[in-house]
Chain A
Amino acid sequence: MSSRTLPLLFINLGGEMLYILDQRLRAQNIPADKAKKVMNDIVTTMFNKKFLEELFKPQELYSKKALRTVFDRLAHASIMRLNQASMDKLYDLMTMAFKYQVLLCQRPKDILLVSFNHMDAIKDFVRDTPNILSQVDETYRQLIEMYTLLPAGEFQLIRQTLLIFFQDMHIRVSIFLKDKVQNSNGRFVLPTSGPVPYGTQTPGLIRMFTCNGEEVKRVQFRNGGNYTSALREGSFELFGDRVIKLGTNMYSISRPVETHMSGSLKNSAQHAKVNTAPNPLAKEELNLLAKLMGGMEVQKPGNPESGFRVNLFATDEEEEEALISRPAELSYEVINIQATKDKQANEELVRIMGEFTESEEPTPCSSSKGDDLLTMMDGL
Chain B
Amino acid sequence: MYHKEKSIQLKSSASALYNNLSVLRIGPRSLTHFTVVHANVVNMVSASWDGLNYSHRQLQSKEGNVATSSSLILQAAWCVLPARELLVLTSQKGIQMYESDGSIMVYWHALDSPETPTAAQSGLATCFVLSFSITGVSSGSLLVFDVPSKGSNITLSEMLEEHKEPLTDLGSECSGSQEFIADLVSADDSGLLCVWKSGDDFQLLNKIPGFEVTCSSVKLWKGIVAAGYGTGQIRLYEAITGILHAEINAHARWIYSLDIAPFTGLLLSAAEDSLVRVWHLTLTPETNSVEIEHMYNECVTDTQICGAKFCDGDGYAFAVTGYDLSEIIRYTQA
Contact = CB atoms under 8 A, between A and B. Distances in A.
Contacts, number: 173
A167 interface: yes
Interface string A36-67: 00000000000000000000001110000000
Interface string A203-233: 1111111110100010101111101000000
Nearest to B243: A211
Interface stretch (A126-134, A147-155, A302-310, A346-354): A147-155
Contacts of B301: 190
A225 B275 contact: yes
Contacts of A157: 119, 121
Contact of A151 (B15, B17, B74, B212): B212
Contacts of B324: 167-168, 170, 187
Contacts of B190: 151, 153
A261 B157 CA distance: 53
Contacts of B250: 203
Contacts of B310: none
Interface residues of A, number: 62
Given A188-B302, A190-B304, A274 B40 contact: yes
Nearest to B70: A277
Interface of chain A, helix or strand or loop or mixed?
Answer: loop
Contact of B17 (A160, A192, A209, A274): A160
B252 to A, nearest CB: 5
B15 A164 contact: yes
Interface string B302-318: 11100000000000000
Interface stretch (A193-201, A317-325, A369-377): A193-201
B247 to A, nearest CB: 5
Given A152-B212, A160-B16, A225-B273, A201 B231 contact: yes
Given A1-B92, A152-B212, A207-B246, A190 B303 contact: yes
A163 B248 contact: no
A267 B13 contact: yes
Contacts of A190: 273-274, 301-304
Interface of B: 11-13, 15-17, 38-41, 68, 70, 72, 74, 92, 115-121, 165-166, 168, 189-190, 212-214, 230-233, 241, 243-254, 273-275, 288-294, 297, 299, 301-304, 323-324, 326
11 contacts: A59-B116, A152-B212, A164-B15, A206-B248, A209-B246, A211-B243, A224-B275, A267-B13, A273-B12, A276-B70, A277-B70
